[in-house]
Every structure is written in structure tokens, then in C-alpha cells.
Chains A and B, each alone.
Chain A
């Protein structure tokens, strides 16, 4: 994507394209581990959704359905906060495939 020159920018860091943080795929920051969703253990308490700093918990209707790896940074907060005895989210090793990263 072409980036603006300084003359083309709107005054004072005003960003007229509000909400463009979706363009920033924070999932590319993930390093070495990722959360794995285990639906059979999920009680849909939404703790993971509440704690996720990157809104990377996928929800459909009123159910947690998985992880959006485009934005998941692999921080592990969701797995940490998952309250069930048998965790519905566990951190698992992830092989880094640089070629698949980013756009």
C-alpha cells in the first residue's frame, strides 16, 4: 500500500481513516506458541473474549467459536483466564512459518 508523503497527511496526526487498526495484523507478532481452542471444554463464559487485548477471540451468536490468528499475538492471557477445570484454551507450540506471515 502506498504511504502518504508528509505534505499529504492531515494536520496534527488526525487519522480520517478511523478504525484502520484492523489493517495491522498483530498476529504477525506471535512467536513460538499459539492458543488452541478446545470447544468440548468451553462453557462460553467469555473470560477469554474479555481479557484478549487484541479482540482475537472469535464469537458467533453467543458462542465462543475459536481464535482469530490474524490478530492473536500468542500472549496466553486467554488460556490463563480460562476458568474450566479442563481448559478450553491451551497454549501449544507453533512452528514459525515466515512465508505465511503478513500480506
Chain B
């Protein structure tokens, strides 16, 4: 039976994991995702899940266990944050290269140094070229919904690519919301039975996984890997629609908010998008035609769809909760600016880096961005392409 439950972000992921009950959960606890791992361990101790729970000596080992278990033919998940994801880095590429449909909940947290435990996107942005599909969540409900959909996307025969679901550290992971928890059996039916393609435990067939490729095959295998993530958009769309039909909450690549008739737009992912919606409402009341585009899927990057949604705006501000030192702007900005390149008529576009190390972003900060957009739209001049929001100058 579907129920409304007060759960924080970590608990929603653990609850989804209990319902899906993967064959193997291998994870090493790290703030702020610890409670996911802890709660799943408790479920195992209480006999509520059948899957194996493995707590190895590090995140590198946790991802290695996931890879081994997935290659053996299991449905596999993990959870981590920040340094934990960074320590998995080497293995992330292997999971993607071997086309193992592992699902990871990443509670987004700043990377050291300086050491910090609060939310930003520097961890998953650092993993953006690892070959994993990346889906970001605005709130606890989206984290729950995205996590369930992630298994369907990862395991689709045309995709077979690992998926990470991001949720902001503390702001989501430790904030309690009333969320709609779907019926266990309905969730299990939605996710379906997992059918591995070449499980190593199938001893009736003789094959090798992960053997060495030299100059003669590496390039072809990499191209073949890219095909998996390039096949994923239609699967992401289809799974998001099916999820909506079944549970009433529809998902796509991004969420537009009062964007259609907007002349100005703000692009921001994850929890800050919630604050931004309130800012948009207030600015609309003040008479400003402004809207929000909240990307949900960052990899694969839905460049055509986002460009179509933004091309007619006068000015756009892309807000990144990560920096890319030395680059021309942060990751989301460069993607979107590049996506708009082929349009003859395109908006002026600027970048703000915000919220590093969990720095607050409030309605007033979005209003500051809006004021700058108005100035740019009016004068046609950009003073600075990359700014820092709520930073002591």
C-alpha cells in the first residue's frame, strides 16, 4: 500500500533499496551518506532484505566489490559522498567500461581541501567523464523516484551503463520531508527481475571479462561503451513516463518552471532549484518575465532539448555548484553555452559558481542574478562571464 512517510534523503534511498532488495549492497560509510549504508545494514540485520551486505575497508574496495558482484550477475548498488567517490574514481571507469549496470546514490558533498562535509557538486562533477549516467534530485521525493528509475535505466539491454543518483548533502540527505512511499510489490514490479547478460557465474559458457586491449581493440571497445550511454536518452524518457503512469510523478531530462513565456532564465540543478522556484514566483509578482530550467539528467547531457528550451531567451544565467579551476566557467555552463552555439539567435549567457562547501543560496541571491540578467538583456553587455554568488569579495 502506498503511504506517506516522513523520511530524510538518506532514509528515502535506504527505503527504496529495501524495496528493490539488490543482490549485493557494497558500501563504506562516509558523511553525509552514512545513514544510507547504516540503515541498509540494519535492514539486513533485521532480516528485511535478502541481498548480501558487504562493508569492505574502503570505497575503492566497495566499488570493486560492486564490479565483481555485477560481473558475477547480480543486481548491485552502493552509496557514497565526496572523498568516497573520489577514492572510487579508478573503479568508476572500470564499471562503465565493463558495462555493469551498478546503481550508486551519491550524497553530494564538497571535495577537500579544505576539508568540509557540506553539500556541493564537486564530487560528481569530478566523475562526469567516467562514463556513468548522472541524475540529480531536487528533494527527497525525487531522490526516491530517481533511485528506483535508475535500476531500470542502468539495466536496459541497450544501455547497460552504471547510473549515479545525486542528492545534495545535508540539505536533502538530512532534511525530513513527507514523501510518497510506493507499495513494495509495485516498486518491485516496476523495477522487474534483473537478467544479467554475461554472468560469470554461468559456467556453461566460456568467456573472459576485462582482458587487456592494446592499440588494436581499445578504441573500438571505448566507442562501443559510448554507444550505451548514447542509447540511454530514449530509455530515460520511457522509464520517466512509465514511472509517471504508474505512480503519478512524471520525469524527463529537465523540469521547466514558468519557462515558456520567460525572457530571462536561470538554470540550476538539485536542491537550489527549490529555492529558485520561490524566487521566480516573487520576481514574477514583481513583473519580471523570468523562468527556471532545472536539469535532472547531466550525463547524457540533453544538449538539443536544453538548447531548444533556452534559445529564444534574452539572457540566461547558469548556476554551478562546482568549479572547474582554469576552465572557461563551470561544467553546466560550458555544456549549455556549447549547446547554443549553432543557433543564430541565442541568449546572452553567464555563469555563477555558488554554494561551494554548503554555502547557502537564498531567494535574495537569485534576485541578484535576476537583476544582472535584466541589466544584460537591456544593455546587451556582459561585464563578467563567470561570477561567484554569495561570496565575500
Interface residues of A (CB under 8 A from B): 3-7, 9-16, 18-19, 21
Contacts and interface: CB of A to CB of B under 8 A. Distances in A.
25 contacts: A3-B220, A5-B220, A6-B223, A7-B224, A9-B220, A10-B207, A11-B99, A11-B197, A11-B198, A11-B224, A11-B228, A12-B197, A12-B198, A13-B97, A13-B98, A13-B210, A14-B198, A14-B207, A14-B208, A15-B211, A16-B205, A18-B207, A19-B206, A19-B208, A21-B211
A11 B216 contact: no
Contacts of A11: 99, 160, 197-198, 224, 228
A12 B209 CA distance: 8
Given A18-B206, A18-B208, A19-B206, A12 B97 contact: yes
A4 B211 CA distance: 16
Interface of A is mostly: loop
Contacts of A12: 97-100, 160, 197-198, 209, 225
Contacts of B100: 12
A7 to B, nearest CB: 7
Given A14-B198, A15-B209, A21-B211, 14 more contacts: A3-B216, A6-B227, A11-B197, A12-B97, A12-B100, A12-B198, A13-B98, A13-B211, A13-B221, A14-B208, A15-B207, A15-B208, A18-B206, A19-B208
A103 to B, nearest CB: 15
A67 to B, nearest CB: 24
Interface of B: 97-100, 160, 197-198, 205-211, 213, 216-217, 219-221, 223-225, 227-228
Nearest to A16: B207
A19 B207 CA distance: 8
Contact of B221 (A9, A18, A19): A9
Closest 6 pairs between A and B when the two form their complex, measured CB to CB: A12-B99, A6-B220, A6-B223, A15-B208, A18-B206, A18-B208
A4 B216 CA distance: 10
A21 B207 CA distance: 12
Contacts of A9: 217, 220-221, 224
A6 B224 contact: yes
Nearest to B198: A14
Contacts of A6: 219-221, 223-224, 227
A11 B71 CA distance: 12
A19 B216 CA distance: 18
Contacts of A14: 197-198, 207-209
